[in-house]
């Protein structure tokens, strides 16, 4: 009988936890990808000069609120330097997460940031060298630069919430297992373009929230 | 002449001064340019060096990243690393362009606000700008696209004003996105003036932001200079201008340090003292004036000297020209007079011309008249002649046959005279060209002519005691279409001429023949004949060989008549032997109407009428009355219209003959009055005029008879009227 009760409780808890979940999905209108490679286009035609890749545009949609302890990342996130670009150029990690910056190109790269959230400088290193992972313990946007290549730009968004997702290249996102309540839903497109939307979450509900472009 | 000298002197003074001032200006300009050039060159070089360094720095990724993050620490750290050379000024050497030393540097963010480092470490990074300078800098930084230059005057409490040239460089990321700007300032050098320049009082300074910065010049002067320069700049002139300072008049030169700089323009200014040059100018002016006066006096003297020498010929010339003038005027007067005279002469001439034309006309008339008169006289001759013959010779009278013949001749002549008068019609009526000529018998005409002219040659022969013989050889009797009287006249003329041509007597032969289609009449005489010249001219009017006795018209009339008859006249003459006149006339065709002229009209059957004859001329009245009485009519006469009316009222009449032209009551009026008394009485008007149309007689008149009236005509008219009645 106790087992049955326990089972019931458990299922109740499960079901209640199941019932307490809301979903938000939608679409963020993303700006068109920049065509400026920061690289002289004239030389892009020659085969031996590698042209830098262009990352597809994306945004990070996250729910701002006090959600308790953040989960720990099992493995450090990766922001690689590949084809003279940071790949991915937008990375969202929870506070306390670590990121490694491997160099996958044949040339020297340098990773540094002057951002207030994290100031670091990994110096110049080649492919073989494995730099130490960098732990980001303050929330905020950290702009990653490469000293040698002026066009290389990456952002690590350190978030104090576990509920975040990166949109697809089309701008669609889906946040699941969200607690009920009233929270502020934010979409981070870039440092100057952070869109907000208050949401009222009810259990079992799927909200449709779109973030149209401001410009 | 004085005026000329004055003018020349004034001009000289003016031009000399102008020249001098412009020369001086040019000289000073050149000097100024020379001084300014090296200074500007140095400044330019320094600016270039700093610009280069700034630009390089602005490309640095770290700097950009730091500026983007607005992190002053990193910013200034990075900047220091790059600008170390500039900032340390380790190789600082005033004149060496590469070793220019920056006096300060600072960053501005994307919005143009200044970014100062948190730890204000050195003065270099904290220039402590006064607010307006800071604003100027911020403005400059906002206005910069890539790199620009501006000028600042930094005032400090303890030190004199520091003039700085500031290079502002814009920092952009690789996307050309504005991140901010970097401003580096360095000191502006000084214009190098040589000792000589300084001694002469030359001064230099800077004009910056409406202020003039220089040393050793009182404040008021500086302000004045600054104002004037501002004015000049507003007017957009860069020419040097004159200014009066406390130390004396100066010439101000200025030049922009950076011509493209608009935000905070700065100008290098040089003050050149003018006192010395003004003194020189004045001295020169007086010299020129003095010289002018001397020239004037000299000219005066010279002119006086020459006046005497020159005035005489001049006066002569003047007098000469006056003479010429008067002569010309006289000549003009003469010309005008002559002109007048000519005009008068021309007018007279024209008048004379008119007169001559008039006379010619008259003479033509006269010619015609004299022709008519001549013919008339010719016809009168036989009339008078035969009348005299009859009166003188009783034998002739008693011989009835002879007397009758004479009277017939008389009648013929009278008719001829009438026809001559009729020709007068040509004067007032255009000649009717194609009159149908009646048929005439040439032979009869010849005979008549001979008979008519008989008195002449008979009396002539008796007077002179010579013998004339007139023979008529009538071979045939040709009929021609012509005027009887005219043809008679022709022959009469020719016979008379022949008689005149034979003063000793001779023989005149008249022949009539038919030759071919022509009727030929020949008049041949055995007279003196004509010379060739006379023969050619004999047909000319007024040409006569008879001197005073001849009119010269006879043969011209003959010729005229022959022409009218479409005939031909030929003259053969031999001097001493005689002359032959041959007239050929076209024969009358048988188709033409045979209207024998002068056939008496005998069919009438009226007799015993009571006739009233009215005429104011007694002879005409007599003739008419006798005519009628001869025919067996009872005739009453009246000498005036009134008398006629009285008689008509008292007695009945069958016929009235009234003359047209009567005094008091004209023929027309008489006829009208008679008509009122009795409506249907036939009235005949007898008139000497042929002025109105035969076709339309006046109202009251039934018929018109023209004088001279022949019995036949009268009888014919009476017959017609009474038959009609």
Residues B581 and B668 in one domain: no
Q: What is the CA radius of gyration of chain B?
A: 73
Measure B140 CA to nearest chain A CA, in Å.
26
Q: Are strands B102-109 and A85-87 parallel, antiparallel or unpaired?
A: unpaired
Amino acid A16: pLDDT: 47
Chain A contacts of B70, Cβ < 8 Å? none
Angle of CA points B481, B484, B486, to nearest 5°: 105
Contact B175 A38 (CB under 8 A): yes
Asked whether residue B428 is assigned to any structural domain, the reply reads no
CA distance B271 to B28: 10
Cis before B312 (ω within 30): no
Q: What is the CA radius of gyration of chain A?
A: 21
Query: CB within 8 A of B593, min separation 6: which ones?
Result: B436, B438, B439
CA distance B620 to B382: 21
Average pLDDT, chain A: 80
Cβ-in-10-Å burial (0-12, 13-18, 19+) of A201 comes to buried
Measure A124 CA to nearest chain B CA, in Å.
13
- From A115, A147, A150, residue closest to B174, measured CB to CB: A150
Taking 80 as the threshold, does the pLDDT of residue A14 lie above it?
no
CB contact, 8 Å: A146 with chain B?
A: yes
Measure B73 CA to nearest chain A CA, in Å.
10
Amino acid B86: pLDDT: 66
CB atoms inside a 10 Å sphere around CB A53:
13
Domain ranges of chain A: 1-31+50-67+161-215, 71-159
CA distance B8 to B16: 12
Asked whether residue B509 is assigned to any structural domain, the reply reads yes
Cβ-in-10-Å burial (0-12, 13-18, 19+) of B24 comes to middle
Residues in A 41-100 with any Cβ partner in B closer than 8 A: none
Could you say which of B551, B586, B621 is where a domain stops? Answer: B586
DSSP B273-315: E-HHHHHHHHHHHHHHHHHHHHHHHHHHHHHHHHHHHHHHHHH
Chain B contacts of A193, Cβ < 8 Å? none
Measure B54 CA to nearest chain A CA, in Å.
17
Chain B contacts of A145, Cβ < 8 Å? 61-62, 65
Residues B47 and B171 in one domain: yes
Measure B84 CA to nearest chain A CA, in Å.
20
CA distance B261 to B40: 14
Can you give the three-state secondary structure of B238-270, one letter per residue? CCCEEEEECCEEEEEEEEECCCCCCCCCEEEEE
- From B66, B74, B174, residue closest to A151, measured CB to CB: B174
Residue indicated by tokens 């919005």: B111
Token pair of A134, please? 């960098």
**Ordered mean pLDDT values, 10 residues apiece, chain B (725 residues):** 77 83 82 80 82 83 83 77 65 50 79 72 60 74 78 67 80 82 80 69 77 77 83 81 79 77 70 78 84 82 81 85 92 94 94 85 71 78 84 82 85 85 63 65 88 80 78 82 86 89 87 87 90 88 77 84 89 90 84 47 63 89 86 89 90 89 87 87 82 61 82 84 72
Contact B71 A114 (CB under 8 A): yes
Edge-to-edge, what's the strand order for the sheet holding A193-201?
Answer: A164-166, A60-64, A181-190, A193-201
Closest residue in chain A to residue B75, using alpha carbons only? A114
Contact A150 B173 (CB under 8 A): yes
Chain B contacts of A146, Cβ < 8 Å? 61
Closest residue in chain B to residue A151, using alpha carbons only? B174
Contact A114 B66 (CB under 8 A): yes
Domain containing residue B237: 195-273
Amino acid B150: pLDDT: 79
CB contact, 8 Å: B71 with chain A?
A: yes
Asked whether residue B305 is assigned to any structural domain, the reply reads no
CB contact, 8 Å: A150 with chain B?
A: yes
Taking 80 as the threshold, does the pLDDT of residue A36 lie above it?
no
Asked whether residue B697 is assigned to any structural domain, the reply reads yes
Chain A contacts of B178, Cβ < 8 Å? none
Token pair of B85, please? 């050379």
Q: A179 — phi, psi (to 5°)?
A: -75, 155
CB contact, 8 Å: A156 with chain B?
A: no
Closest residue in chain B to residue A40, using alpha carbons only? B174
Taking 70 as the threshold, does the pLDDT of residue A172 lie above it?
yes
**H or E element in which residue B462 lies:** helix B442-464
**What's the total number of domains in chain B?**
4
Closest residue in chain B to residue A142, using alpha carbons only? B69
Measure B134 CA to nearest chain A CA, in Å.
27
Residues in A 4-43 with any Cβ partner in B closer than 8 A: 34, 36, 38
Measure A121 CA to nearest chain B CA, in Å.
11
Contact A114 B69 (CB under 8 A): yes
Q: What percent of chain A has pLDDT over 90?
A: 4
Query: CB within 8 A of A184, min separation 6: which ones?
Result: A63, A64, A65, A196, A197, A198, A199
CB contact, 8 Å: B74 with chain A?
A: yes
Residues in B 295-334 with any Cβ partner in A closer than 8 A: none
Residues B146 and B240 in one domain: no
CB contact, 8 Å: B70 with chain A?
A: no
Cα–Cα distances in Å, from A44 out to A39, A52, B218, B477?
8, 9, 66, 149
Residues B579 and B652 in one domain: no
Angle between the N-to-C axes of helices B484-501 and B442-464, in degrees from 0 to 180, rounded to the nearest 10: 30
Hey, of B75, B174, B175, B180, which one would you mutate to test binding to chain A, going by the most A CBs within 10 A of its CB? B174
CB contact, 8 Å: B341 with chain A?
A: no
Residues B581 and B650 in one domain: no
Amino acid A44: pLDDT: 46
Residues B155 and B13 in one domain: yes
Residue indicated by tokens 């009246």: B638
Closest residue in chain B to residue A112, using alpha carbons only? B62
Amino acid B262: pLDDT: 59
CA distance B295 to B303: 12
Asked whether residue B544 is assigned to any structural domain, the reply reads yes
Contact B69 A148 (CB under 8 A): no
CA distance B697 to A27: 139
Residues B146 and B224 in one domain: no
Angle between the N-to-C axes of helices B61-69 and B2-59, in degrees from 0 to 180, rounded to the nearest 10: 90
ipTM of predicted complex: 0.75
Contact A143 B65 (CB under 8 A): yes
Q: What percent of chain B has pLDDT over 70?
A: 85
Residues B546 and B651 in one domain: no
Chain A contacts of B69, Cβ < 8 Å? 114-116, 143
Residues B448 and B533 in one domain: yes
Angle of CA points B32, B38, B44, to nearest 5°: 120
CB contact, 8 Å: B81 with chain A?
A: no
Amino acid B583: pLDDT: 92
Residue whose C-alpha is closest to residue B488's, from B408, B412, B596, B422: B412
Measure B56 CA to nearest chain A CA, in Å.
14
User: Is A1-31+50-67+161-215's fold the same as A71-159's?
Assistant: yes
Residues B210 and B143 in one domain: no
Query: CB within 8 A of B124, min separation 6: which ones?
Result: B87, B102, B103, B104, B105
CA distance B201 to B245: 13
Closest residue in chain B to residue A116, using alpha carbons only? B69
Asked whether residue B433 is assigned to any structural domain, the reply reads no
Long-range contacts for B539-542 (Cβ within 8 Å, ≥24 apart)? B539/B569, B541/B367, B541/B371, B542/B367
Asked whether residue B431 is assigned to any structural domain, the reply reads no
Residues B202 and B74 in one domain: no
Between chain A and chain B, the number of residue pairs with CB atoms below 8 A apart is: 36
Cis before B674 (ω within 30): no
Q: pTM for this structure?
A: 0.46
Amino acid B93: pLDDT: 47
- From B62, B74, B174, residue closest to A38, measured CB to CB: B174
- From B59, B68, B175, residue closest to A36, measured CB to CB: B175
Q: Are B648 and B611 in contact (CB under 8 A)?
A: no
Q: Which listed CATH number (3.40.50.300, 2.60.40.1120, 1.10.10.10, 1.10.3720.10) goes with A1-31+50-67+161-215?
A: 2.60.40.1120
CA distance B493 to B8: 110
Q: Are B554 and B491 in contact (CB under 8 A)?
A: no
CB contact, 8 Å: A120 with chain B?
A: no
Residues B708 and B574 in one domain: no
Closest residue in chain B to residue A34, using alpha carbons only? B175
CB contact, 8 Å: B59 with chain A?
A: yes
Q: Of the segments A40-44, A62-66, A155-159, B34-38, which one has the largest average pLDDT value?
A: A155-159
Asked whether residue B338 is assigned to any structural domain, the reply reads no
DSSP letter at B517 equals: T
Q: How far is CA B682 from the centre of its chain?
A: 71
Cβ-in-10-Å burial (0-12, 13-18, 19+) of B706 comes to middle
DSSP letter at A146 equals: -
Residue indicated by tokens 């020169």: B284
DSSP letter at A106 equals: S
Cα–Cα distances in Å, from B97 out to A2, B48, B50?
95, 9, 10
Cα–Cα distances in Å, from A171 out to A31, A58, A210, A212, B555?
10, 6, 9, 10, 150
For domain A71-159, the CATH class is mainly beta
Per-residue pLDDT tens over the stretch B386-434: 888 888 888 778 888 888 888 888 888 888 888 878 766 655 555 455 5
Contact B68 A143 (CB under 8 A): yes
Contact A112 B62 (CB under 8 A): yes
Chain B contacts of A115, Cβ < 8 Å? 69
CB contact, 8 Å: A151 with chain B?
A: yes
């Amino acid at each position: 009988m106790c087992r049955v009760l326990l089972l019931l409780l458990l299922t109740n808890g499960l079901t209640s936890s199941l019932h307490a979940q809301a979903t938000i999905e939608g679409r963020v209108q993303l700006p068109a990808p920049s065509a400026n490679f920061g690289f002289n286009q004239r030389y892009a035609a020659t085969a031996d000069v590698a042209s830098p890749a262009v990352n597809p545009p994306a945004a990070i949609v996250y729910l701002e609120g006090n959600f308790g302890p953040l989960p720990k990342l099992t493995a450090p996130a990766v922001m690689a330097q590949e084809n003279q670009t940071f790949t991915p150029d937008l990375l969202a990690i929870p506070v306390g997460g670590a990121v490694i910056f491997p160099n996958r190109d044949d040339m020297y790269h340098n990773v540094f940031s002057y951002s207030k959230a994290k100031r670091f400088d990994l110096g110049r290193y080649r492919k073989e060298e494995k730099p130490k992972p960098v732990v980001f313990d303050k929330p905020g946007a950290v702009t990653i630069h490469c000293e040698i290549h002026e066009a290389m730009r990456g952002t690590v968004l350190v978030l104090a919430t576990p509920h975040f997702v990166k949109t697809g290249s089309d701008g669609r996102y889906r946040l699941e297992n969200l607690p009920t309540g009233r929270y502020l839903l934010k979409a981070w497109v870039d440092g100057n373009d952070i869109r907000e939307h208050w949401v009222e979450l009810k259990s079992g509900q799927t909200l449709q929230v779109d973030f149209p472009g401001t410009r | 002449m004085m005026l000329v000298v004055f003018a020349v002197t004034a001009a000289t003074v003016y031009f000399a001064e102008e020249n001098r001032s412009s020369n001086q200006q040019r000289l000073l300009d050149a000097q100024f340019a020379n001084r300014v050039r090296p200074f500007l060159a140095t400044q330019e070089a320094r600016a270039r060096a700093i610009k280069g360094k700034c630009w390089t720095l602005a490309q640095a990724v770290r700097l950009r990243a730091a500026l983007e993050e607005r992190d002053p620490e990193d910013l200034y750290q990075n900047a220091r690393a790059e600008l170390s050379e500039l900032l340390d000024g380790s190789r600082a050497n005033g004149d060496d362009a590469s070793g220019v030393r920056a006096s300060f540097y600072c960053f501005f963010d994307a919005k143009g606000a200044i970014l100062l480092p948190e730890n204000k470490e050195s003065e270099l990074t904290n220039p402590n700008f006064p607010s307006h300078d800071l604003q100027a800098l911020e403005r400059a930084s906002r206005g910069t696209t890539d790199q620009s230059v501006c000028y600042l005057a930094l005032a400090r409490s303890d030190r004199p004003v520091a003039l700085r040239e500031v290079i502002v460089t814009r920092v952009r990321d690789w996307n050309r996105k504005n991140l901010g700007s970097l401003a580096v300032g360095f000191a502006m050098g000084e214009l190098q003036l040589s000792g000589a320049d300084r001694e002469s009082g030359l001064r230099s300074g800077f004009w910056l932001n409406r202020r003039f910065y220089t040393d050793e010049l009182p404040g008021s002067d500086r302000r004045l200079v600054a104002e004037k320069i501002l004015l000049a700049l507003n007017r957009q002139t860069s020419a040097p201008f004159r200014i009066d300072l406390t130390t004396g008049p100066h010439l101000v030169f200025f030049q922009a340090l950076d011509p493209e700089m608009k935000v905070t323009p700065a100008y290098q200014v040089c003050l050149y003292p003018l006192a010395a040059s003004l003194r020189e100018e004045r001295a020169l002016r007086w010299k020129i004036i003095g010289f002018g006066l001397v020239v004037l006096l000299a000219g005066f003297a010279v002119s006086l000297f020459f006046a005497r020498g020159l005035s005489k010929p001049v006066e002569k010339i003047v007098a000469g020209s006056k003479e010429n003038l008067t002569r010309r005027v006289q000549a003009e007067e003469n010309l005008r007079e002559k002109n007048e005279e000519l005009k008068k002469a021309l007018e007279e001439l024209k008048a004379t011309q008119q007169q001559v034309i008039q006379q010619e006309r008259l003479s033509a008339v006269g010619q015609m008249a004299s022709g008519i008169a001549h013919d008339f006289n010719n016809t009168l001759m036989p009339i008078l002649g035969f009348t005299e013959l009859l009166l003188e010779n009783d034998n002739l009278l008693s011989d009835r046959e002879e007397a009758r013949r004479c009277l017939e001749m008389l009648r013929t002549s009278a008719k001829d005279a009438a026809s001559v008068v009729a020709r007068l019609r040509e004067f007032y009526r255009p000649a009717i060209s194609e009159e149908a000529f009646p048929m005439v018998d040439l032979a009869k005409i010849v005979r008549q002519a001979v008979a008519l002219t008989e008195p002449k040659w008979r009396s002539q022969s008796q007077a002179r005691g010579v013998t004339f013989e007139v023979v008529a050889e009538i071979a045939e009797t040709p009929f021609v279409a012509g005027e009887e009287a005219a043809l008679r006249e022709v022959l009469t003329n020719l016979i008379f001429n022949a008689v005149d041509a034979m003063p000793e007597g001779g023989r005149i032969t008249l022949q009539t023949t038919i030759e071919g289609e022509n009727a030929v009449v020949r008049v041949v005489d055995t007279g003196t004949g004509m010379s060739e010249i006379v023969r050619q001219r004999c047909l000319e009017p007024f040409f006569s060989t008879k001197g005073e006795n001849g009119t010269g018209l006879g043969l011209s009339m003959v010729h005229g008549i022959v022409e009218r008859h479409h005939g031909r006249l030929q003259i053969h003459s031999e001097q001493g032997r005689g002359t032959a006149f041959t007239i050929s006339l076209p024969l009358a065709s048988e188709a033409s109407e045979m209207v024998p002229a002068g056939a008496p009209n005998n069919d009438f059957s009226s007799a015993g009428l009571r006739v009233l004859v009215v005429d104011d001329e007694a002879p005409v009245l007599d003739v008419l009355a006798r005519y009628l009485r001869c025919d067996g009519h009872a005739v009453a006469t009246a000498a005036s219209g009134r008398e006629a009316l009285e008689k008509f009222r008292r007695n009945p009449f069958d016929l009235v003959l009234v003359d047209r032209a009567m005094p008091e009551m004209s023929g027309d009026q008489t006829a009208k009055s008679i008509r009122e008394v009795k409506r249907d009485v036939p009235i005949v008007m007898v008139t000497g005029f042929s002025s109105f149309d035969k076709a339309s007689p006046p109202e009251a008149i039934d018929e018109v008879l023209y004088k001279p009236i022949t019995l036949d005509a009268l009888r014919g008219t009476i017959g017609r009227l009474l038959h009609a009645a």
